[in-house]
Chain A
């Protein structure tokens, strides 16, 4: 049912295609932090449209799929909440026309990805993978924010259009290089580009709908979106072109290589996703009409077949209870429909006609042949990566649907219809677009204009005639088939190489790094947070007193006071005597309870002073706080041992010095405030405006709930947090007791 929302959004976006194609702009601008040049604004152009359609279209299908798939899980309402949250974040990201808005939605997607990867939070592996993904994409997000701010500095505004329409101020600014590097880190972490790629295979801990949606079709494409969005600004910059090309090629190859020997279906798909993302980065970095066309087509193609395959992998796991290739086989007998759908998706992945994957691959080769620099090297690596993909697809198809006969615990059966609708639709579209590719030329054309203005989209054709590109395609498939024939030897070699030479263990190293960091902070915390309450108090008092002394010259502090004791009323004298007597009693008290009551006595004395000087609000609060303190204190004291060991003379003298010092500073301060001063008082403003602007006569309260309401909100949040903290500490203690 939830699929209705994204589906209707999809059609809304679809209906806007002609308008966007004409160049009409759909803009929504809400003022946000206008003083800082930040707007909450959106803009729908070709590229945004392309991604928005992808997000809503695939999203609708995934929702249908997930609706059935998640039935066996607990707390699915949470799951769908996160999923919708993600979808909103992703839509916001691709339609934002303000860098800060974009960044905010960028973080939305990171957080929802964290929640979804860790959805099976009882499993340690899921929690670790979620944390890893969050730290990497979140860290990248911070880098991105820094980069975006640096980029926007010369413009005094965070508008995306400002940078794109006039890149020169940014390109010539001294922050160009650091900003570019930081933005690239942001994009690369999000899109799992080497060396940050390792979080993506870990993210396969998420339920299959999530892998299909976030970690293949949409979220990991956010980095690609950012690169495509910025490309018109950067296309002339060598730094940009070379970084994209180098990291793209490496990721493309590394991903394909590690996909070769995987046994887990979802891991295979994850590594081929890494490879595909690398390919897209490379294609954008190549920056020709061919390569950008190829990048857009391939992005679409990949989203279609990868989402399909992830959903099918989920189906297979659901029905057979495993996604290990070694334990699967002969499934074509039990699920013919699923087999056909998967095979078509795998054909698309291998780039075999008539699927649209073929067109994607043809364009890729064409782009690489026409690459301006290092063409041969890129072509060779791309050729190998593609052959590896063919090999992996064959292995997937053969190993799962044919291959050895397996004994399943339960008889496998065809997946439920709603589990097949999504994959079937996606595959059908892949097939249809393979045969009639020009149906999407309009959409791709307007997206193309946003990435590479000034050039035009290459015409999409299934059949290019007999040329070198067709030969390359043929050789790719041939190599893949040959590798498949010798698969046992190849897998053995790859495993050997992986474990002996390419064992990067990036994931483990990442966690080791985190542990080292945590230990460091633990040591630091142990020094600062030593756990002795009396020293905390001492630190606070000394620091406060010293800071006050430091600021004294600024307010023209003078040590001449005109103390007048005559004219004090009898009650004030009484209160003062109460306070002094109470204080002395605290010092000489022989038991904790007496000391406690004596502090209560002091408190009441102060309350009387407040009453006499018309601070009634303070007085009421004070009475209650004092009473509560004494009551609570009494409860605690009840459990403490009696005054067994007095503090020694030395520490008493030390405490006394601190107390007297602090007392004197506060006393001087109090006397100072009573003197006439040249500084303007903020209280005058409140007195003047309290009734006229806020309709309240109780100034203290008006300040609390109106002028300074935000501060008060902060305070009550702190109160609630403190309560939660206290309660959880006490409960923890109780648990320990009962377990003993």
Chain B
């Protein structure tokens, strides 16, 4: 499985896929995309990398801390639900929105996006953790 072509492809695909996943995550609110798909994409980046270089190498990557991301993701998702409460909403997970503007460029941010970020991290973490473990078992 460990061919040079796959190695080069995987190494270059990883940052591309990660950035793409972030784009997909952000645009999910208005256009096709969203945390779930983005999470799968980000996870894939690592899975492909592991496929090319082996799990032990992939595990040394800086962001390869799936268990942390899973917990963190659920934490963010929960926290995003609390923000509405703190702003005096009646129930948990009431959306709160603001728009950040930098000159001509404006960024619409809201708790649902934060929630989606949580979904993203959890899904990616889950995927990486499970597949890495399965791959380790293989060797």
Give A residues with C-beta under 8 Å from B: 616-617, 620-621, 624-625, 628, 631-632, 635-636, 638-639, 693-698, 700-702, 704-706, 709-710, 712-713, 716-717, 719-720, 722-723, 726-727, 730-731, 733-734
Contact check, B119 vs A705: say whether CB atoms are below 8 A apart.
yes
A730 touches which one: B44, B74, B125, B133 (CB < 8 A)? B133
| B contact residues around A695 at 8 Å (CB) | 29, 95, 97, 108, 110
Contact check, A720 vs B112: say whether CB atoms are below 8 A apart.
no
Contact check, A733 vs B116: say whether CB atoms are below 8 A apart.
no
| Docked complex: B23-39 residues within 8 A CB-CB of A | 28-37
Name the residue of chain A whose CB is nearest to the CB of B31.
Answer: A698
Q: How far is A734 from B135 in the complex, measured between Cα atoms in Å?
A: 12
B126 touches which one: A701, A704, A723 (CB < 8 A)? A723
Contact check, A639 vs B119: say whether CB atoms are below 8 A apart.
no
| A contact residues around B46 at 8 Å (CB) | none
Confirm or deny: B115 has a beta carbon within 8 angstroms of a beta carbon on chain A.
yes
Q: Which of A628, A723, A733 has the most CB of B within 10 A?
A: A723
Q: How far is A709 from B34 in the complex, measured between Cα atoms in Å?
A: 13
Q: How far is the CB of B59 from chain A (nearest CB, A)?
A: 13
Q: Which of A695, A713, A717 has the most CB of B within 10 A?
A: A713
Name the residue of chain B whose CB is nearest to the CB of A617.
Answer: B32
Apart from A635-B138, A716-B77, list 13 A-B contacts with CB within 8 A: A632-B131, A695-B110, A698-B32, A701-B29, A704-B36, A705-B29, A706-B115, A709-B112, A720-B73, A723-B70, A723-B126, A726-B133, A734-B136
| B contact residues around A727 at 8 Å (CB) | 129-130, 133
B112 touches which one: A616, A625, A694 (CB < 8 A)? A694
Confirm or deny: B10 has a beta carbon within 8 angstroms of a beta carbon on chain A.
no
Contact check, A701 vs B28: say whether CB atoms are below 8 A apart.
yes
Name the residue of chain B whose CB is nearest to the CB of A31.
Answer: B90
Tally of A-B Cβ pairs under 8 angstroms: 134
Contact check, A616 vs B122: say whether CB atoms are below 8 A apart.
no
Q: How far is A631 from B138 in the complex, measured between Cα atoms in Å?
A: 13
Q: How far is the CB of A201 from chain B (nearest CB, A)?
A: 38
| A contact residues around B118 at 8 Å (CB) | 713, 716
A617 touches which one: B33, B113, B115, B119 (CB < 8 A)? B33
Name the residue of chain B whose CB is nearest to the CB of A711.
Answer: B93
Contact check, B34 vs A701: say whether CB atoms are below 8 A apart.
yes
Known A-B contacts A621-B36, A710-B92; the reply to A697 vs B30 at CB < 8 A is yes
Contact check, B112 vs A696: say whether CB atoms are below 8 A apart.
yes
Contact check, A723 vs B31: say whether CB atoms are below 8 A apart.
no
Contact check, B93 vs A706: say whether CB atoms are below 8 A apart.
yes
Q: How far is A636 from B137 in the complex, measured between Cα atoms in Å?
A: 10
Name the residue of chain A whose CB is nearest to the CB of B126.
Answer: A723
Which are the 5 A-B pairs with shortest beta-carbon distances?
Answer: A616-B32, A709-B93, A697-B30, A723-B126, A705-B112
| B contact residues around A632 at 8 Å (CB) | 131, 134
| B contact residues around A631 at 8 Å (CB) | 47
| B contact residues around A698 at 8 Å (CB) | 28-34
Q: Which of B70, B112, B123 has the most CB of A within 10 A?
A: B112
Q: How far is A476 from B66 in the complex, measured between Cα atoms in Å?
A: 67
Q: How far is the CB of A698 from chain B (nearest CB, A)?
A: 6
Contact check, B40 vs A625: say whether CB atoms are below 8 A apart.
yes
Bitwise interface map of B from 92 to 124 toward A, beta carbon under 8 Å scored 1, else 0? 110101000000000010101101101100110
Q: How far is the CB of B123 from chain A (nearest CB, A)?
A: 7
| B contact residues around A625 at 8 Å (CB) | 40
Contact check, A717 vs B74: say whether CB atoms are below 8 A apart.
yes
Q: How far is the CB of B44 from chain A (nearest CB, A)?
A: 7
Q: How far is A716 from B125 in the complex, measured between Cα atoms in Å?
A: 11
A705 touches which one: B31, B34, B126, B127 (CB < 8 A)? B34
Contact check, A696 vs B133: say whether CB atoms are below 8 A apart.
no
Provide a sorted-by-A list of 6 A–B residue pairs whose CB atoms are within 8 angstroms: A625-B40, A695-B29, A702-B112, A713-B118, A720-B74, A723-B125
Contact check, A720 vs B122: say whether CB atoms are below 8 A apart.
yes
| B contact residues around A706 at 8 Å (CB) | 93, 95, 112, 115
Contact check, A713 vs B77: say whether CB atoms are below 8 A apart.
yes
Q: How far is A710 from B32 in the complex, measured between Cα atoms in Å?
A: 21
Known A-B contacts A710-B92, A712-B119; the reply to A624 vs B44 at CB < 8 A is yes
Q: How far is A678 from B73 in the complex, measured between Cα atoms in Å?
A: 41
| Docked complex: B1-46 residues within 8 A CB-CB of A | 28-37, 40-41, 44
| B contact residues around A628 at 8 Å (CB) | 40, 44, 47, 127
| A contact residues around B28 at 8 Å (CB) | 698, 701, 705
| A contact residues around B66 at 8 Å (CB) | 723
Q: Which of A617, A635, A712, A716 has the most CB of B within 10 A?
A: A716
Q: How far is A199 from B95 in the complex, measured between Cα atoms in Å?
A: 48
Contact check, A734 vs B44: say whether CB atoms are below 8 A apart.
no
Confirm or deny: B71 has a beta carbon within 8 angstroms of a beta carbon on chain A.
yes
Q: How far is the CB of A424 from chain B (nearest CB, A)?
A: 44
Bitwise interface map of B from 35 to 69 toward A, beta carbon under 8 Å scored 1, else 0? 11100110010010000000000000000001000
Name the residue of chain B whose CB is nearest to the CB of A725.
Answer: B130
| B contact residues around A709 at 8 Å (CB) | 77, 81, 93, 112, 115
Name the residue of chain A whose CB is nearest to the CB of B38.
Answer: A620
Name the residue of chain A whose CB is nearest to the CB of B99.
Answer: A695
Known A-B contacts A639-B138, A698-B30, A709-B115; the reply to A719 vs B122 at CB < 8 A is yes
| A contact residues around B35 at 8 Å (CB) | 704-705
Contact check, A635 vs B36: say whether CB atoms are below 8 A apart.
no
Known A-B contacts A624-B37, A635-B134, A695-B108; the reply to A705 vs B116 at CB < 8 A is yes
Contact check, B95 vs A723: say whether CB atoms are below 8 A apart.
no
Contact check, B134 vs A696: say whether CB atoms are below 8 A apart.
no
Name the residue of chain A whose CB is nearest to the CB of B132.
Answer: A727
Contact check, B31 vs A697: say whether CB atoms are below 8 A apart.
yes
Contact check, B119 vs A723: say whether CB atoms are below 8 A apart.
no
| A contact residues around B123 at 8 Å (CB) | 716, 719
Q: How far is A719 from B43 in the complex, measured between Cα atoms in Å?
A: 14
Q: How far is the CB of A732 from chain B (nearest CB, A)?
A: 11
Q: How far is the CB of B96 from chain A (nearest CB, A)?
A: 11
| A contact residues around B127 at 8 Å (CB) | 628
A624 touches which one: B41, B95, B122, B130 (CB < 8 A)? B41
| A contact residues around B31 at 8 Å (CB) | 697-698
Q: How far is A722 from B126 in the complex, measured between Cα atoms in Å?
A: 8
Contact check, A700 vs B34: say whether CB atoms are below 8 A apart.
yes
| B contact residues around A694 at 8 Å (CB) | 95, 112
Name the residue of chain A whose CB is nearest to the CB of B78.
Answer: A713
Q: Which of B30, B108, B110, B138 has the most CB of A within 10 A?
A: B30
| B contact residues around A693 at 8 Å (CB) | 95
Q: How far is A57 from B112 in the complex, measured between Cα atoms in Å?
A: 45
